Structure 1
Amino acid sequence: MENRICGLFGIKYPLIQAGMIWCSGWELASAVSNAGGLGIIGSGSMYPDVLRTHIQKCKAATDKPFAVNLPMLYPQIEDHINIIIEEGVKIVFTSAGNPKTWTAHLKKHGITVVHVVSSVKFALKAEQAGVDAVVAEGFEAGGHNGREETTTFCLIPMVKEKLNVPLIAAGGIATGRQMLAAMILGADAVQVGSRFVASEESSGHFNFKNRVVEAGEGETHLTLKELAPVRLIRNKFHADVMNAYANHATVDDLKTLLGRARAKRGMFEGDLDEGELEIGQISGLIDNIKPAAEIVEEIISEFNLLQANWPSQVL
């Protein structure tokens, strides 16, 4: 399948696995890459030495391209960048910060840089910073999200109208049908997160994976915008957050309530009551846990079938 993203990354399919904290280690990244997509190691939940280990294990498990997601809010980001360069990682997805800060430095070392945004404004800033591609992530997505609450179907055509570099759509995409819809709207590829959380290779706790599978329509909510917008499954911790808002909590109050390692507690350790359970709205459509390679095959097969019959099957 030839397009701008496949050529840029050297991959078979324009399908990227999102770099998700606590869920996307080397096992998931290598499995997706081996299946023809682009796997991503989510470094935001890793100490520097842990990241190095995951990169080395990923290199041993696949001879295909893979990437590292680099949240720029990470306190030891310079250590992470040095490790990425030393280990010869060729593709980096940056997020949660200003792309100007590190793009030129990474590109100087021959690294392809992609930045994640949630608005046209920041897509243009990323392009001006020199990134090679942009991920435009809609309101439906889990994890850290934008404050604008622009849905993917609105965001992608608006960004496409202004952007020259390749565009990757993210947020609410888990099937081949949704992949085709995003690409008809102007995306060159799609990034899939929540569907890969519910994979056998995901490093998320089985309690969390099972809760994602059980989640129905309307069971997630985008909140904590004062800190970093995140979409959560409704549980006791979410109820505590809503109660804090009802009582006019300050930013410091919210920070105290969130505490440290709340996401780890929920997604990696499996505490479904007190943990932060980050997932996208598309969780309501996910009803099983399967190998990552099967997920890739399922998405691409449906995409190819529908594309081959486009537009007869949709008119």
Structure 2
Amino acid sequence: MKTRVTEIFGIEYPIVQGGLAYLAYAELAAAVSNAGGLGQITAATLRTPEKLRDEIRKVRTLTNKPFAVNFAIARHDGQYKELLEIIIEEKVPAISITGANPQPVFKRIKGENIRTLVLVAGVRQAKKAEQLGADAVMVVGQEGGGHLGRDDIGTIVLTPRVVDSVSIPVLASGGIGDGRGLLAALALGAEGIEMGTRFIATKECIHANEKYKQAILHGKETDTVIIKRTLGAPGRALKSGYTLDIIERELEGATYEDLQNLISGKANCKYIYDGDESAGFGWAGQIIGLIDNIPTVQELFNEMILTADKGLSRIENIIGERAHN
């Protein structure tokens, strides 16, 4: 597959692994890159310059393909600048930026030959990212897992809206986890996709607790909920007694201070690492309704490309039949 995304980032397939806080480590990133996509590790999880440097070097022992580092800027509490220096020193080929205004990051890496992806949830953000010099934007629809935009716009509408609004390549995200989703994204004008939830349910996502993976495997598309909506930071998570309690508290007028411990990264880790449903939560998108196995990343890629090829042949047959008639 050749799109501007594959050309810019030097990858075989226009498939990018999401940042996946607390889960995107070297093993998963390298597996995605080795399969032909763009794997990522997340700086938010690693926190210190020393740990980030170690993880970058670990990726390089597992793959010689391009990879990226994700910066969820809001998680860094202003300390991302130290981590950014490691990116530059280690000559990381690409970064993705989520969660806040990326302008300071762009200013620092100017002239450093680092490719950039910015996660957006609307047209205005995409235009701003292009203005700042982003190489590509990833647009996430409301079906996605983790933090989302505030406007509840689905991927099938949001993707072409952004495609029509910027000249840089667009990757679709949210509700995509197989070859049909890849083909649909390309049909909408995107030049690639980003997937998060689907990569959690793979063998190389070794930090995810088996209970978390099984919940993704057996969950239906109706088994997710939006938390933190009243705080202005909506995010989609697995439905559970824990997340339903958060929503109930929000409806009763709970403030950020009231909910802080319930929605913290520590609470997230209690579930995704320890499998403790009573003490934490796990992010997940509606794509869980289409996930029915836990393959290796390479097996997932093989399945996706085969399915996309079959879908393309089906469309060509339909169009060809119509033209013939």
With the shorter chain as reference, the TM-score category is over 0.9
**Deviation of the 1:42 alpha carbon:** 2.1
Alpha-carbon distance in 1 for matches of 2:264, 2:47: 18
**Which one of the candidate residues 231, 238, 262 is aligned to 1:233?**
238
Alpha-carbon distance in 2 for matches of 1:65, 1:81: 18
**Which one of the candidate residues 240, 245, 249 is aligned to 1:244?**
249
Q: Match of 1:37?
A: 37
Alpha-carbon distance in 1 for matches of 2:212, 2:147: 18
Kept in 1: contact 2:28–2:39 (CA 8 A): yes
Deviations 1:250-309 (A, max 9, x none): 232222433451111111222223212101110111122111111111111211232244
Deviations 1:150-208 (A, max 9, x none): 10001001011111001111011011111111111110001111111000111211121
Deviations 1:110-154 (A, max 9, x none): 111110000011111111111111001110111111111110001
Kept in 2: contact 1:17–1:39 (CA 8 A): yes
Amino acid at match of 2:188: L
**After the TM superposition, which of the residue ranges 289-298 and 220-229 deviates more from structure 2?**
220-229
Amino acid at match of 1:17: Q
Amino acid at match of 1:111: I
**Which one of the candidate residues 169, 172, 180 is aligned to 1:169?**
172
Alpha-carbon distance in 2 for matches of 1:13, 1:132: 17
Q: Match of 2:315?
A: 310
RMSD: 1.6
Q: Match of 2:223?
A: 219
Identity within the alignment, %: 35
Unmatched segments (≥5 aa) in structure 1? none
SS of equivalent to 2:110: helix
Alpha-carbon distance in 2 for matches of 1:258, 1:177: 33
Q: Match of 2:52?
A: 51
1:198 aligned to 2:230? no
Q: Match of 1:115?
A: 118
Equivalent residues, number: 315
Alpha-carbon distance in 2 for matches of 1:96, 1:163: 20
Kept in 1: contact 2:228–2:250 (CA 8 A): no
SS of equivalent to 1:312: helix
Alpha-carbon distance in 1 for matches of 2:265, 2:173: 27
**After the TM superposition, which of the residue ranges 236-245 and 285-294 deviates more from structure 2?**
236-245
SS of equivalent to 1:275: coil
Q: Match of 1:69?
A: 70
Amino acid at match of 2:152: E
1:92 aligned to 2:80? no
1:297 aligned to 2:298? no
Kept in 1: contact 2:38–2:66 (CA 8 A): yes
**After the TM superposition, which of the residue ranges 279-288 and 303-312 deviates more from structure 2?**
303-312
Unmatched segments (≥5 aa) in structure 2? none
SS of equivalent to 2:164: helix
1:253 aligned to 2:258? yes
**After the TM superposition, which of the residue ranges 56-65 and 206-215 deviates more from structure 2?**
206-215
**Deviation of the 1:224 alpha carbon:** 0.2
TM (norm. structure 1) is: 0.95
Kept in 1: contact 2:262–2:280 (CA 8 A): no
SS of equivalent to 1:204: coil
Amino acid at match of 1:41: I
